A and B are shown apart, each in its own frame.
Chain A
Amino acid sequence: MDNMIIQSKDLSKIYLRGAEKIVAVDSVSIDIKEGEFVSFIGPSGSGKTSLLHLLGCLDNPDQGELIVDVFSIMKDGKSLSEKKLTPIRRDLFGYIFQKFYLIPTLTVKENILLPYAFMPRNGERQSAEAIAEKLGLAHRLTHLPKELSGGEMQRVAIARALINKPKILLADEPTGNLDSKRSDEIAGILSDLNKEDQITIILVTHNPVLAAKAGRIIELEDGRIRD
């Protein structure tokens, strides 16, 4: 239990759609070790993205308990405020999304360094060039996102997620907008980050090849972990 980075117990998330109650995450208990690579798979609507958002402190659970690193995110029915969650998200997590969400007016380098605009001035910094080199983007630093291919854009998003040296990398369908060649490329990068840098990776994907890179595959169905 010593090296657990995420622990959840009976974690639930319920949405209201009109009068209808939708249980997106239903009493999920899961422990993720530091340096682990976990994949969530399952059909659309199975709650894998909702669970990812809860574990990544992007959304507040409605029930259960959640501990991330040393922080009690949800305990005794109370979750941390948005103000307290902000530095936790900034310092612990890196997020990668299917749609990249690069800022179109900023260059590759500026996009990679964007999280630093929201960090305290005395925070530790690493250079965009080093990360870009590692991800094969060194020649693209001065380009705008519109000048990049889909694979390159996702690599920029990964570089941006890594710039603040996160302990946990959350990736939601990172290859969803890419062809198979680019998907393999991204899968390789994530695998290397886990093996070489011991970054904990939690992945949501429909892609079986990508899911297979993980050390543990968790299947979800109707908001629950399938046995």
Chain B
Amino acid sequence: MPGISGIAYKNLRRKRLRSVLTVFGIALSTWVLVSLFGFNKGYEASLNKDIDNLGFQVLLTAKGCPYEAATLMLQGGKGLRYMPEGIVDSLKTNPEVDELTPMLMQTVFDVNKGEEGGVVGYLGIDPQTYPKMKTYLKFNQGNWFTQNDAMEAVMGYEAAELEQREVGDMILIPEKEIEVKIVGVLKRSGTQDDGTIFLPYKTVQQIFGLPGQLTSVGIKVNKSVDITAYEEELYKIPDVQVVSMAQVKNTISNLVSTARVMVMSIAIIAILIAMVGVINTILMSVLERYQEIGIMKSMGATTAHIFRLIWFETIMLCFAGGVIGSAMSAVLGKVTDSVIRYILPYAPTGSLVRIDLALVVRAIGIIVAIGLFSGIYPALRAARIRPIEAIRSADGEF
């Protein structure tokens, strides 16, 4: 015996193309919705991971643009300002400091990079302190520099892959026409370090003519220290800027908020379009079955029966669309990741879109709830059909 849900299911198969197109519309909305939820989750997690991987909680830079400082902290930057190296010694005396590492970032234009040339960055580090903060950095080949001022370089995994370099190769620093020897190639770490070329900071000072200059100092504070209070202390040092982990998060969150609003708007529009699609499909189906519904009422179908019948159809369309859309978002996660990465001003490493079961269930729940809401009007229209009106509309007589 067919139940009301069985009748609803079979009815959806009556106009297959229309049902498929409606499901597809809902699936696209679900895809956007799941990706949006996944992005909200994934972006924050990746950003936190990137910041944790920095190894230090506070970055001291020469005073300048806060956005530049945040970018410098995470992936290097241009328009650099300098501070004296002597600051490292004075910071060492602070009891709050557990460890610190000086850095000197430099960029040059390499005409041979890509088709139209490009900027190459070199991060000068202290081989004694930097590796201690970045304990996750492991070597594929070789090791860190032999001396603090050696003409040597260590390449991140992707930097080495891109330039097809290995230990023993010489690389030319453009503009300076100086060669340095590669002494190490790192394993993939999934962080910004993968694309970095490391040199001893003393060597960078020498090559770029910046004796006694640094661009930043990474500070790892003792666990018991109140970071906010210590930041206030650091602000007392003239001509420096303090960038904390929390600030970086806020700064980057501000940068991506516009993109987030844009994606949210797209999601809302997609959902509205899907809702209109569902209403249209179900309403068309109701009007086409005007007589059938009237005959069902003559057989004893109550208003509630007909309402349920139409609502079941809506739920089935939305559930199918929700499941397919969720599957699409999982399968096409990398594509979504790439698109978002292209749109955003700054994207952390790792997966930007993280989809899990709870998120999928939540998205399907929202889509089904929206579908139920969309189904109210068609269901009410159907439930109000009187048998005599339906029969008379078919007979055209009385």
Nearest CB in chain A to that of B299: its residue: A115
B388 & A87 in contact (Cβ 8 Å cutoff): no
B95 at the interface (CB under 8 A from A): no
How long is the Cα–Cα vector from A33 to B226 in the complex, in angstroms?
Answer: 97
**Contact B2 A113, beta carbon cutoff 8 Å:** yes
Of the candidates B4, B291, B295, B298, the one whose C-beta lies within 8 Å of that of A117 is B4
- Closest Cβ of chain A: how far from B203's Cβ, in Å? 78
A50 located at the interface, meaning its Cβ lies under 8 Å from any Cβ of chain B in the complex: yes
- How distant is the Cα of A146 from the Cα of B295 in the complex, in angstroms? 18
* Inter-subunit contact B394/A106 (CB<8 Å): no
Asked if B398 is at the interface (CB within 8 A of a chain A CB), the reply is yes
Residue in A98, A99, A103, A160 whose Cβ sees the most chain B Cβ within 10 Å: A103
Q: Which of B4, B6, B386, B391 contacts A97 (CB 8 A)?
A: B391
Interface digits, B280-294 against A, CB 8 Å rule (1 contact, 0 not)?
000000000001100
For chain A, residues 6 to 61, give those with C-beta under 8 angstroms from any C-beta of chain B. Answer: 15, 22, 24, 44-45, 47, 49-50, 53, 58-59
Q: Which residues of B contact A89 (CB under 8 A)?
A: 297-300, 387
Which residues from A are CB-within-8-Å of B13? 105
A105: chain B residues at CB < 8 Å are 7, 10-11, 13-14
Q: How does the 8 Å CB contact mask read for A188-225 relative to B, with 1 for contact and 0 for none?
A: 00000000000000000000000000000000000000
B89 sits at the interface (CB 8 A): no
The proximity string for B residues 1-36 relative to A, scoring 1 for CB distances below 8 Å and 0 otherwise, is 111101100110110000000000000000000000
The answer to whether B246 has its CB under 8 Å from any CB of chain A is no
Residue B146 CB within 8 A of the other chain: no
Contact call A117/B397, Cβ cutoff below 8 A: no
Cβ A86 vs Cβ B391 within 8 A: no
Q: Does the CB pair B398–A15 fall under 8 Å?
A: yes
Complexed CA–CA distance, A143 and B208 (Å): 87
Name the interface size band of chain B: 20 to 34
B1 and A117 contact, CB distance less than 8 A: yes
Q: Nearest A residue to B386 by beta-carbon distance?
A: A82
How many Å lie between the Cα of A77 and that of B299 in the bound state? Answer: 26
Q: Report the bound CA distance from A86 to B305 in whole Å.
A: 11
Question: For the complex, what is the distance from the CA of A105 to the CA of B295, rounded to whole Å?
Answer: 15
Q: Which residues of A contact B391 (CB under 8 A)?
A: 53, 58, 97
Task: State whether B1 touches A86 (Cβ < 8 A).
Answer: no
Distance between A61 CB and nearest chain B CB, rounded to angstroms: 12
**When the two chains form the complex, which single residue of B1, B7, B300 contacts A103, counting CB atoms closer than 8 Å?**
B7
A104 near B: Cβ within 8 Å?
A: yes
Q: Does A183 contact B (CB under 8 A)?
A: no
Interface: A79 (CB within 8 A): no
**Given the complex of chains A and B, what is the CA–CA distance between A50 and B397 in angstroms?**
9
Contact of B395 among A22, A49, A104, A164 (CB under 8 A): A49
From A45, A53, A97, A115, B300 is in contact (CB under 8 Å) with A115
Which of chain B's residues have a CB closer than 8 A to the CB of A82? 303, 386
B97-138 vs A, CB cutoff 8 Å, 1 = contact: the mask equals 000000000000000000000000000000000000000000
Interface residue B302 (Cβ < 8 Å from any Cβ of A): yes
Complex Cα distance, B360 from A123, in Å, reads 41
> Contact: A117 with B2, CB < 8 Å?
yes
* The one of A44, A90, A101 that contacts B295, using a Cβ cutoff of 8 Å: A101
Query: Which residues on the A side are within 8 Å of B387 (C-beta)?
Result: 58, 89
Flag if A116 contacts B388 (CB, 8 Å). Answer: no
Mark each residue of chain A from 73 to 104: 1 if its CB lies under 8 Å from any CB of chain B, else 0.
00000000011001101110101011101011
Contact call A49/B397, Cβ cutoff below 8 A: yes
Per the bound structure, the CA–CA distance linking A87 and B301 in Å amounts to 9
A91, B296: Cα distance in complex, Å: 14
Docked-complex contact B2 and A50, CB < 8 angstroms: no
User: CA–CA, A95 to B294, complex, Å?
Assistant: 12
B33 to A: closest C-beta gap in Å = 31
Q: Besides A82-B386, A90-B300, 4 other CB < 8 A contacts?
A: A97-B295, A106-B7, A113-B1, A113-B2
A–B Cβ pairs within 8 angstroms, 28 of them: A22-B398, A24-B398, A47-B398, A50-B398, A53-B388, A58-B387, A58-B391, A59-B388, A82-B303, A86-B301, A89-B298, A90-B300, A97-B391, A99-B291, A101-B291, A101-B292, A101-B394, A103-B292, A104-B14, A106-B10, A114-B7, A114-B296, A116-B1, A117-B1, A118-B299, A118-B300, A119-B300, A164-B300
B interface, CB within 8 angstroms of A: 1-4, 6-7, 10-11, 13-14, 291-292, 295-303, 305, 386-388, 391, 394-395, 397-398
Q: Which residues of A contact B (CB under 8 A)?
A: 15, 22, 24, 44-45, 47, 49-50, 53, 58-59, 82-83, 86-87, 89-91, 93, 95, 97-99, 101, 103-106, 110, 113-119, 160, 164
Task: Give the 9 A-B CB pairs with smallest separation, nearest first.
Answer: A90-B300, A105-B10, A118-B301, A59-B388, A115-B299, A101-B295, A118-B300, A113-B1, A110-B2
